[in-house]
Structure 1
C-alpha cells in the first residue's frame, strides 16, 4: 500500500473507487468522477489485485488530475478495498463508487445539498440499472415502491421500512464521522447489509432524492451478485449475524422487518443459482435458517419476491412446465428463468435429457394424452402449457405464479410480446374486461363469462392453471400443438375457472404469425367436433375461425373463412367479431 501524502488542504468529499478486474469499465467510472459538477473531492482509486490492467487503465484515465490517487494492494476483496480507502480518506464526507459503475454529473452536488437541506448525516438517491445490451431502467432504490418521494428524508425507525431501502454502499453520501469504529466486514460477500443496518442505528434519518444519480451495471460476468458458486451461502451467514442486530435495534416491527429482509436476500441469491445440486443445498440451508429464527416466508410485501420460492422452501414444487411438441428456443429461455423451481416436461417433441444448467427434461408420449391424464403425471401445484413457438420472458413464470398464489384463483393470465408487432394485453377485445386499464400493474381479479372467454388471445404460455383445473378440462379437448387447439384450451379453462387473475405485465413472447395456426379446413373440423360450451354466445365458432385466419395469413384468407362460416351456419349468431378484423369483415358480420 502506498503511503498517505501530507496534503494539508482536506477536500470536502472523499470518493473511494474499488477496482478489481474491470478493465472494460473503469475508464467510464473515472470519467464520470472527473465530470462532477461539485469539484471539491479527492478520489482514492483502490486497485485490489487486478490482473487485467484495471489499475493502469484507471491511472491513464485520471492522469494529470491531482485529485486522484491510486492505491494498490493484493487481492483481499471488496470490503478490504473500501476499508483501505476509508483509512486514507480526508474529506468531511465519503462516497463509494464501484469500478464498473458510474456517477451522474450531479451526484456529489445533489446528495451534499440533500444532507445540508434535510439536516441528516447521510443521503441516498435513485439509480439507473444498466443491463447487458445497453437497456437502461431507472429505479428508486426502494423495494416495493411505486411512487417514491421526489425529495425529503426517510425515517429509519421502522424495521419494515428500513428493509425496503437498497443497502448498497454506492448510491449514498455519508459524513465520514459515521464510520468511526465501523468498517466493512472482510472475508465475506454481501458486506453492504451489515454496514447499512449499523448506520441506520447510528443515524436514523436518511436524506433521499429519487433522481437516478448513480449508474449501476447489472449482470456483468464475474459480478458478485450474479455468481453461481458456493459463495451464495455467505448471504445466509450475513442474515444470521444480522438477526440480533435488527431484533435489538430498538426499531419498531423488528421481527417482521427481519423476516422481510430474509425473504428479499434469499430470493435475490436464488435467482442466480442454476446448478440443481447447489440450489437444493441452498434451499435446505435457507429453510433451516428461517426455522431457526422462527420466520415464515414474507413475500407479500414485495411483488418482485418469488412466492414460488416460498413453496419450494416448504418442499412443494410450485410449477410444471409442459412444452407441446418441439420446444425450439423455449428450452434456453426456460433454463434462464429467475424462478427456477419447476419440472420441465416435453410432450411429443425432441429434447435433450439435460439442459446446460443440469436441469432434467422429462419426455412424454402424446399418444392418448388427455388433460386429466397429463395432470395425473405432473407434480407441480401450477401448470404452464407452451405451444410451439412460444417463449417465456425472463420473469414470466415468476410473475404468473406470484399472481396465482396472491389471488388464490385457479387461472391467471398475462400479457404478450409479439416479436415484430410488440405488446399485446392478451385480449382480442379488452372492452369486455371493465377496469382492465386501471388495474394495478401487478394484476387483479376479473370475472370470466362467455364474452370474456371468447376474447382471449389464442396462446397458451401466458396462462397458468392450477393442476386441478387442467384435470377438469374435457377429455375430448385433446392437447394438440396447433393454434386452434390453443384457442379451445384457452376457452375451456376460462369457462371452467369462472374467475381469473390477470396482469398487464408481459410474460410470454410469441411470433406475429404462429406457424402452427391451421388452415381453414382443419380449423373448421376442430371447431365442428368441439361440443359448444353453453356459456359462449351463438356464432362463437365464426369469431374463432376468422381470428385464426387473420393470424395465419391476414386479409387474403378471410374471404374463405367467411364462406366456411356461412356454410356451417356459424354466422347466424350474436357473437361480436374481433375489433382488429378489417372493417369490411365486421360490416358483413353485422348483417347476420
Structure 2
C-alpha cells in the first residue's frame, strides 16, 4: 500500500444534525480526484447519528479527522475546524455537510491557483432541490472563466458571497486573520466580500464545482425569523461599512444589491410574519435605506423602488397592500399613469405607492406560439408580443414591425406583420389588470427574399413594438 501523499488542501466540514445527507457529502469529498487532502469534520453538538457517520469515515480513511464540540453554531464550527487543520498545507476549503462537492472540483481549483498565483478561486454552483439540479441564480452571469480577475474589475462578483464554492491560499487566509462571526446567522458575506477586495487577484471558474442543497422548509422558517432578518441586515451593514472606507461606487452597488437580493427575501416574508417580525424588519431595513440614501434605489426595478420608498417612509400597511397586489397579479405588474416622458407606476387602491418609470421598467414581452413550413416553401410564424403594463386592448394602440437579419450578418430587412387576436397573451401573463388580447402577430418568411446567410447559418427574427412615447425591440425565439 503506497503511503498517503502530503496534503495539498485542507477541507473543513462543520456538522450539526444532518445524518440524512452527511454520508453523501463526505463521500463526495473522499472521492475527489485530488487525493492529497486532509478533511477536518467538526461535530457541532449533533444529537442525531451525524457524529457516528463522521467517525466511520475517519476510521476507514486516514485523511479524515473528527473534532467534537458543544453546539456553538456554524461559524464557531468552521473556525474550530480551521484551528485543527495543518497550517502548512497550502490551500483551504469549506464544505457544508448537507451539500455535495463536484468530483474533480478541488483538483481544478487548486490547479488554477498553482497556475496563476491568485489568492482565491471561486466556481459555479448547482442548486439541488427535490426537483433535481438547477443553475443557481446567483451565478447565471458566470458563462466564461476569468483567471486573475478582481471584484473591482468585475462587480458581478458582489453576488459571490458564500464560502463553500471556493479554495483559499492558506497564507492569504492567515495573513488577513479571517474568521467567521460567531453567534450570527448569514456568516459568509462579512468574510467573503472583504476577501474578494483584499485578494491581489481571484480566479473564476465557469464550470460547476458545487451542489448547494436547498431545503424549502428551512427557507420558509428563516424568512420570517426575527433574529434572521436582524442578522442579515447587520451583515450587509458590516460589509457596506468595509466598502465605505475603500470604494464609494462599490459600496453603492453593494447596497443596491442588498436591497434587490438579500432583503427582498425578507420583504416577501412580511405577509407571513407576525408583528414582532414586521417591526424588526421595518426598524432594521428602514435604517439601512436611510443610511444608503436615494442613490441606492436608482438601479432597482420600479416595483422595488416603490416598496423601499414605503419602507423608508415607515408605511407598513401600504407595503402589505402592494405585496398583496403582487401575490394576485405577479411581481412587476402595475398600472401606468401620466403622459409619455412623465409616466409613473401606480398600484390601484394603494395611496402613495408610485414611482417614476425609467426606460427599462417597460420591457417588451414576446412568445412564439407556432412555426410551420407551408407547401409553398415559406415559414409562417404566429405568436404574441406586447409592452408590459401598456394594455393591448385594441390593435390601434400599438405598431408592430418585423425585422430579420442573417445570423452572422448586419443587414436588417423589414418583414410585414399582421395583427391578430391572441387571448392566450392575457391568460399567459398571469395577471388580471391589463388586457393583451390584441397582441397577436403573424409573419410569413420567404427564404428566397431573406438576407443571404453563410454556410450553415440561420436568420434572427425580431419585432419592433411602438406605443405613444415608447419603442422597444424584442427577439422572437422558439420555446
Q: TM-score, normalised by structure 2?
A: 0.68
CA contact (8 A) 2:230 2:280 kept: no
Residues 75-108 of structure 1 deviation map (CA, whole Å, 9 limit, x = unaligned):
1111101000111111211100000001011111
Q: Deviations over 1:295-341 (max 9, x none)?
A: 5444747x89955643543545474767xxxxxxxxxx959x99699
| Cα distance change on mapping 1:235 and 1:503 into 2, 3 Å | farther
Q: Do the aligned residues in 2 keep the contact of 1:25 with 1:99 (CA within 8 Å)?
A: yes
Counterpart for residue 134 of structure 1:
131
Shift of 1:285: 2.5
User: Does the aligned pair in 2 maintain the 1:319–1:381 contact within 8 Å?
Assistant: no
Higher normalized strand content (fraction of residues): 2
User: Looking at CA atoms only, which structure, 1 or 2, has the larger radius of gyration?
Assistant: 1
Q: Give 3-state SS (helix, strand or coil) of 2:77's partner.
A: helix
- Residue in 2 aligned with 1:530? none
1:175 matched to 2:172: no
The 3 A distance-change label for structure 1 pair 319 and 152 is same
2:366 and 2:383 in contact (8 A); partners too:
no
Match of 1:115 among 110, 113, 116: 113
Aligned partners of 1:320 and 1:378 also within 8 Å: no
Shift in Å, 1:176: 1.4
Q: Is the 8 A contact 1:159 1:246 kept in 2?
A: no
SS of the aligned residue for 2:143 comes to: coil
Q: 1-side partners of 2:149 and 2:330: how far apart?
A: 31
1:83 match: 79
How far is the alpha carbon of 1:116 from its aligned partner? Answer: 1.8
Whole-angstrom CA distance in 1 between matches of 2:303 and 2:196: 23
* Correspondence 1:270 to 2:267: yes
Q: Distance in 1 between matches of 2:383 and 2:333?
A: 35
Q: Residues of 2 paired with 1:319 and 1:502: CA distance?
A: 30
Unaligned ranges ≥5, structure 2: 335-345, 371-379, 397-417, 441-466
**Equivalent position to 1:66, from 62, 67, 70:** 62
Hey, what's the Cα distance between the residues in 1 that align with 2:8 and 2:168?
Answer: 11
Distance in 1 separating the partners of 2:165 and 2:286: 31
Partners of 1:461 and 1:378 in 2: how far apart?
24
Q: State the SS of the aligned residue for 2:43.
A: strand
| Structure 1 portions without partners, runs of 5+ | 1-7, 323-332, 343-374, 383-400, 416-422, 471-488, 506-592
Between the aligned partners of 2:297 and 2:24, the Cα distance in structure 1 is 39
Mark the CA change 1:219 to 1:413 in structure 2 (over 3 Å): closer, same or farther: farther
Aligned residue pairs total 392
- Normalization by structure 1: what TM-score? 0.56
For residue 27 of structure 1, report the CA deviation from its aligned partner.
Answer: 0.7
Shift in Å, 1:169: 0.4
Provide the residue aligned with 1:27 in structure 2: 23
**Distance (Å, rounded) in 1 between the aligned partners of 2:150 and 2:17:** 37
Quick check: 2:105–2:210 contact (8 Å CA) kept in 1?
yes
1:216, distance to aligned residue in structure 2 (A) = 0.3
Contact 2:150 2:197 (8 Å CA) reproduced: no
